[in-house]
C-alpha cells in the first residue's frame, strides 16, 4: 500500500510539474472557471432582488447549498480528473489506457494519478468564498457536532460525484458514445442539488431520494447546519447520511468499474 | 531447458456488432444485437526459449497485435493456454508486468511534458528499481542509445526516433527478462532504424533478454531475428529460421555470370537461363537441389568466367507468396 500511495503522489507531482510549464494558460484557466462561477452565482443573487426567499430559503441559505456543492465538486473534479469520462474515453480510444495496464501498480490509482486539473482551484476557492459568505449572513450557529460533521459532508459529496465520474468512465469500456449522457447526469446533478429540494416537484424529488440519493448529500445536511425544520418528516438520522449516500454510490461505482475493466480485457476495443 | 514463453492452442475471438446505417440507425444499433464472430487469433501454438529474438510477421489485421496483447496481459484469451516467465499474464497481470518490458510502436509510456530523465525516475519508483541498478542501467543505455543529447528535454519536443530510444530505455530500466516490441521501427529513417536494431541486438547479446517483435520491415527480421513466426488471418503459417523459409518457400536463386567472351550456347544442366545480355548471363536455380559451388564448377568447366554474383530470392517475395497462399498448403 505504501508503494501504491507513493506511486500515486509521484504521479500527481508529475501532473503538477507538467501543468506549471504552461503558466499563462494555467492563469487564464483559473480566471475563466472563476468567472463562470461568479456569473452563475450572480444570476442566482439577482433572482433574490425580486423574491425575498425561494421555497422558504433566503439568499444566504441557498448560498450555503451552492457554495458547499461548488467547493466539493471542485475538489472532486481536481482529484478525479483522470476519471472524467471525456478525458478517460479519449485515453481508451487512443490506446494510452493500455500503457497503464503494463505497469505494476493497480490501475485505479494510476488513473487517479493520470490527471490533476489544478485550474479547478478557481472553482474550489470561489465555492469556499461563497460558503464563508453564506455561513456569515445566514446566522449559522456552530456547535462541536456541526464542526465535526462538515468534513464528512464534503467527503460524501466528493465520493458521490467521483463515483458518477467512475461510472461514466466505465461505460466507455463499451462505447465512448455514452459520455455525453453521463455528463448530463453528473453536471446536471450538481446543478440541481445547489437549490433547496423543496422547490422541486414531488416526482423529481423522489428520484433524488430513492433512485439517486442526492437529497442526503447536501439538502439534509444543510437543514441540520441551518437549524431548519424538515418539510418531509424523515427520521432525524436523515441529516447525517451524506457520507453513507456518497459511500454507497462510490462502492457501486467501484464494482461497476471492475466489471467494465473485465469486459475491456476480454474484448479489446 | 524450459521455454520462457509457452503458447498452446491460443485463440481470441471478438464479437463485432453490425452497425446499421441510415435513419433510425442509432435506435436499431441500440436495440438489436446482430453480431458476427471474428477469429483474430485461431489455435496458435509456439514456444520461445530464453535469449531468442523472434520476429512476428503478418499483414495488417493478421492477429499480431492481438497476440502481443494477450502475451502482455492486456487481453484475456478466449481459448488455449499461455504461460510467460512462469506467469499466466492476464491472471497475475500486476506481478507479471514487472518481469517484462513492452514498447507499443506509436504510443509512449513517458510523460509528454516532462523531461525524459524525470519520466525515468518516476518509472524507477513504480517498478521498484534499486538505485544501484537504476544508475548502472541508465549509464549503459545512455551510452548505447546516446540519450545524452535529449535526456533533459521534454518528451513532446523529441523526434520520433529519439522518443523511441527513450521509450526503449524506459522499458528496460527494470531489467526485464522479456521485451515485447510492436513495430519498433515504424516511421523511422534508415539511420534511426539501424540504431534501434543495434540496441535490440546489444540488449539481447549482453543481457540475454528474450525479444519478441512484430514488424513490417523485413530488414528488421534479417538483421535481428534468428527465428520468425508468420501469422495470417489468425493462423500460424510458419515457424522457423529465415533460411528455412527461403529454402522451403523461396523463389529460385539467381547466379549472374559475366563471361570472358561471347558464347553461342550457355546452357548448363540444373539451371535455367533467364536473361541474356551480351556476355552477361543470368541463371535461375533451385538451391535445395543444386549448391552454388556445384553450379559454378559446372559452368566454369564449360566456359571461361570473368565475374560472378549470387542473388538470394527476395524475402518480400517469399513472404508475399505465403500470404497469398500460393506456397503453403500444409502448414509447417
One pLDDT digit (tens) per residue for chain B, 332 residues: 789 999 999 999 988 776 666 666 666 666 666 678 889 999 999 999 999 999 999 888 888 989 999 999 999 999 999 999 999 999 999 999 999 999 987 789 999 999 999 999 999 999 999 999 999 999 999 999 999 999 999 999 999 999 999 999 999 999 999 999 999 988 888 899 999 999 999 999 999 999 999 988 888 888 899 899 999 889 998 899 888 877 777 667 889 999 988 888 888 888 888 888 888 999 988 887 888 899 999 998 888 899 999 887 777 777 777 777 655 544 44
Please tell me which of the candidates A6, A17, A105 has its beta carbon nearest to residue B114.
Answer: A17
- Residue B282's SS3 state is strand
Calpha distance A75→B187 (Å, rounded): 42
Structural domain spans, chain A: 2-262
What pLDDT sits at residue A180? 83
Q: At what angle do helices B116-126 and B160-172 cross, to 10 degrees?
A: 20
Distance from CA of B198 to the nearest CA of A (A): 25
Q: At what angle do helices A144-171 and A242-267 cross, to 10 degrees?
A: 20
Cβ <8 Å between B125 and A11? no
Contacts of A19 in chain B (CB under 8 A): 113
Q: Which residue of B has its CA nearest to A9?
A: B122
Residues B106/B187, Cβ–Cβ less than 8 Å: yes
Cα–Cα nearest to B284, from B256, B247, B264: B256
What pLDDT sits at residue B332? 45
Query: What number is the average pLDDT over the span A90-117?
Result: 93
Q: What is the DSSP string of B46-74?
A: EEE-TT-EEEEE--TTSSHHHHHHHHTTS
Calpha distance A61→A58 (Å, rounded): 5
Name which residue leads in pLDDT, A226 or B25: A226
Contacts of A265 in chain B (CB under 8 A): 74-76, 90
Indicate the range of A118-122, A245-249, B156-160, B234-238 predicted with least confidence.
A118-122
Q: Which residue of B has its CA nearest to A106?
A: B94
Residues B56/B7, Cβ–Cβ less than 8 Å: no
What Å distances lie between residue B326 and B216, B249, B285, B320, CA to CA? 20, 9, 19, 9
Residues B82/B88, Cβ–Cβ less than 8 Å: yes
Burial of A20 (0-12, 13-18, 19+ CB in 10 A): exposed
Q: Is the ipTM of this complex over 0.90?
A: no
Distance from CA of B157 to the nearest CA of A (A): 13
Residue A148 main-chain phi, psi, to 5 deg: -70, -40
Distance from CA of A100 to the nearest CA of B (A): 8
What pLDDT sits at residue B115? 95
Per-position b or e across B171-207, b if 16+ CB within 10 A of its CB: bbbbebbbbbbbbbbbebeeebbebbbebbebbbeeb
- The overall average pLDDT reported for chain B is 88
Residue found under cell 471492475: A258
Calpha distance A111→B214 (Å, rounded): 28
Residues B189/B161, Cβ–Cβ less than 8 Å: yes
Which pLDDT tens digit goes with each residue over A141-162? 999 999 999 999 999 999 999 9
Calpha distance A184→B83 (Å, rounded): 45
Residues B185/B220, Cβ–Cβ less than 8 Å: yes
Cell of A228: 431548519
Calpha distance A235→A238 (Å, rounded): 6
Give the DSSP H/E element, type plus range, for residue B94.
Answer: helix B93-96
Q: Which of B66, B74, B176 to mutate to test the interface with A (most CBs of A within 10 A)?
A: B74
Segments in chain A forming alpha helices (H)? 2-19, 23-50, 59-79, 85-94, 96-101, 107-112, 121-137, 144-171, 179-192, 202-206, 219-225, 242-267
Cβ <8 Å between B107 and A267? no
- Residue A84's SS3 state is coil
Q: What is the DSSP string of B132-150?
A: HHHHHHHHHHHHHHTGGGT
Beta bridge partners of B11: B79
Q: Which residue of B has its CA nearest to A5?
A: B126
Residues B110/B119, Cβ–Cβ less than 8 Å: yes
Calpha distance A38→A40 (Å, rounded): 5
Residues B39/B49, Cβ–Cβ less than 8 Å: no
Calpha distance A169→A233 (Å, rounded): 37
Q: Cβ of A170: how many Cβ atoms within 10 Å?
A: 25
What pLDDT sits at residue B211? 96
Q: How far apart are the first and last CA of chain A?
A: 31
Q: In what order do the strands lie in the sheet with B305-311?
A: B272-277, B280-285, B253-259, B305-311
The answer to whether the Cα torsion of B7, B8, B9, B11 is positive or negative is negative
Please tell me which of the candidates A7, A96, A102 has its beta carbon nearest to residue B102.
Answer: A102
Residues contacting residue B2 through CB under 8 Å, at least 6 positions apart = none
Query: Vertex A219, ends A216 and A222: CA angle to 5°?
Result: 115
The phi-psi region of residue B186 (left if phi > 0; otherwise alpha if psi is between -120 and 50; otherwise beta) is beta
Q: In what order do the strands lie in the sheet with B35-48?
A: B35-48, B5-17, B79-84
Please tell me which of the candidates B72, B75, B114 has its beta carbon nearest to residue A102.
Answer: B72
Distance from CA of A136 to the nearest CA of B (A): 43
Cell of A3: 508503494
- The overall average pLDDT reported for chain A is 90
Please tell me which of the candidates A94, A104, A267 has its beta carbon nearest to residue B126.
Answer: A104
The phi-psi region of residue B73 (left if phi > 0; otherwise alpha if psi is between -120 and 50; otherwise beta) is left
Contacts of B126 in chain A (CB under 8 A): 7, 10, 103-105
Burial of B298 (0-12, 13-18, 19+ CB in 10 A): middle
Q: In what order do the strands lie in the sheet with B210-214?
A: B100-104, B178-182, B210-214, B53-57, B227-232, B235-240
Cell of B280: 552477361
**Does A204 have pLDDT greater than 80?**
yes
Interface A:B, Cβ pairs < 8 A: 74
Contacts of B70 in chain A (CB under 8 A): none
Calpha distance A79→A154 (Å, rounded): 13
Burial of B287 (0-12, 13-18, 19+ CB in 10 A): middle
Amino acid at each position: 500500500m505504501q508503494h501504491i500511495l507513493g506511486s500515486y503522489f509521484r504521479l500527481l507531482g508529475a501532473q503538477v510539474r507538467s501543468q506549471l510549464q504552461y503558466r499563462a494558460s494555467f492563469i487564464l484557466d483559473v480566471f475563466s472557471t472563476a468567472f463562470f462561477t461568479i456569473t452563475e452565482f450572480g444570476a442566482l443573487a439577482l433572482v433574490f432582488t425580486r423574491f425575498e426567499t425561494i421555497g422558504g430559503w433566503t439568499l444566504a441559505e441557498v448560498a450555503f447549498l451552492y457554495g458547499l456543492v461548488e467547493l466539493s465538486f471542485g475538489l472532486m473534479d481536481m482529484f478525479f480528473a483522470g476519471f472524467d469520462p471525456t478525458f478517460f474515453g479519449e485515453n481508451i480510444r487512443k490506446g494510452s489506457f493500455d500503457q497503464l495496464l503494463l505497469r505494476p501498480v493497480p490501475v485505479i490509482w494510476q488513473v487517479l494519478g493520470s490527471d490533476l486539473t489544478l485550474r479547478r482551484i478557481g472553482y474550489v476557492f470561489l465555492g469556499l468564498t461563497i460558503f464563508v459568505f453564506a455561513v456569515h449572513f445566514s446566522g449559522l450557529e456552530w456547535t462541536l457536532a456541526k464542526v465535526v460533521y462538515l468534513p464528512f459532508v464534503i467527503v460524501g459529496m466528493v465520493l458521490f460525484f467521483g463515483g458518477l465520474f467512475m461510472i461514466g468512465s466505465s461505460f466507455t469500456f463499451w462505447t465512448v458514445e455514452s459520455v455525453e449522457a453521463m455528463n448530463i447526469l453528473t453536471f446536471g446533478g450538481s446543478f440541481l442539488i445547489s437549490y433547496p429540494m423543496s422547490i422541486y416537484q414531488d416526482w423529481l424529488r423522489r428520484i433524488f431520494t430513492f433512485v439517486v440519493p442526492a437529497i442526503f448529500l447536501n439538502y439534509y445536511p444543510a437543514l441540520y447546519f441551518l437549524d431548519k425544520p424538515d418539510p418531509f418528516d424523515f427520521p432525524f438520522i436523515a441529516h447525517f447520511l451524506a457520507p453513507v449516500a456518497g459511500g454507497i454510490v462510490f462502492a457501486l461505482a467501484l464494482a461497476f468499474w471492475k466489471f467494465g475493466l473485465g469486459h475491456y480485457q476480454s474484448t479489446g476495443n | 531447458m524450459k521455454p520462457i514463453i509457452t503458447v498452446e492452442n491460443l485463440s481470441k475471438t471478438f464479437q463485432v456488432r453490425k452497425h446499421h446505417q441510415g435513419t433510425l440507425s442509432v435506435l436499431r444499433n441500440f436495440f438489436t444485437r446482430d453480431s458476427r464472430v471474428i477469429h483474430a487469433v485461431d489455435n496458435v501454438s509456439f514456444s520461445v526459449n530464453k535469449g531468442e529474438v523472434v520476429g512476428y510477421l503478418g499483414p495488417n489485421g493478421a492477429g499480431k497485435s492481438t497476440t502481443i496483447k494477450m502475451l502482455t496481459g492486456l487481453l484475456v484469451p478466449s481459448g488455449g493456454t499461455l504461460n510467460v516467465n512462469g506467469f499466466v499474464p492476464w491472471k497475475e497481470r500486476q506481478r507479471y508486468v514487472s518481469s517484462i518490458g513492452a514498447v507499443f510502436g506509436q504510443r509512449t509510456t513517458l510523460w509528454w511534458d516532462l523531461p525524459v530523465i524525470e519520466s525515468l525516475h518516476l518509472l524507477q519508483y513504480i517498478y521498484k528499481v534499486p538505485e544501484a541498478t537504476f544508475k548502472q542501467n541508465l549509464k549503459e543505455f545512455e551510452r548505447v542509445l546516446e540519450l545524452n543529447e535529449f535526456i533533459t528535454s521534454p518528451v513532446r519536443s523529441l523526434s520520433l526516433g529519439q522518443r523511441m530510444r527513450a521509450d526503449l530505455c524506459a522499458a528496460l530500466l527494470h531489467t526485464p527478462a522479456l521485451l515485447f516490441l510492436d513495430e519498433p521501427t515504424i516511421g523511422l529513417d534508415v539511420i534511426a532504424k539501424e540504431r534501434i536494431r543495434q540496441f535490440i541486438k546489444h540488449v539481447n547479446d549482453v543481457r540475454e533478454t528474450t525479444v519478441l517483435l512484430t514488424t513490417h520491415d523485413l530488414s528488421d527480421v534479417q538483421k535481428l531475428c534468428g527465428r520468425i513466426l508468420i501469422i495470417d488471418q489468425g493462423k500460424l503459417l510458419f515457424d522457423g529460421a529465415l533460411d528455412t523459409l527461403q529454402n522451403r518457400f523461396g523463389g529460385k536463386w539467381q547466379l549472374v555470370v559475366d563471361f570472358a567472351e561471347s558464347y553461342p550456347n550457355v546452357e548448363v544442366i540444373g539451371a535455367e537461363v533467364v536473361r541474356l545480355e551480351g556476355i552477361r548471363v543470368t541463371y535461375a536455380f533451385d538451391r535445395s537441389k543444386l549448391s552454388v559451388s556445384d553450379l559454378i564448377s559446372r559452368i566454369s568447366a564449360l566456359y571461361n568466367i570473368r565475374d560472378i554474383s549470387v542473388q538470394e530470392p527476395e524475402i518480400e517475395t517469399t513472404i508475399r507468396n505465403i500470404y497469398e497462399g500460393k506456397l503453403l498448403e500444409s502448414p509447417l
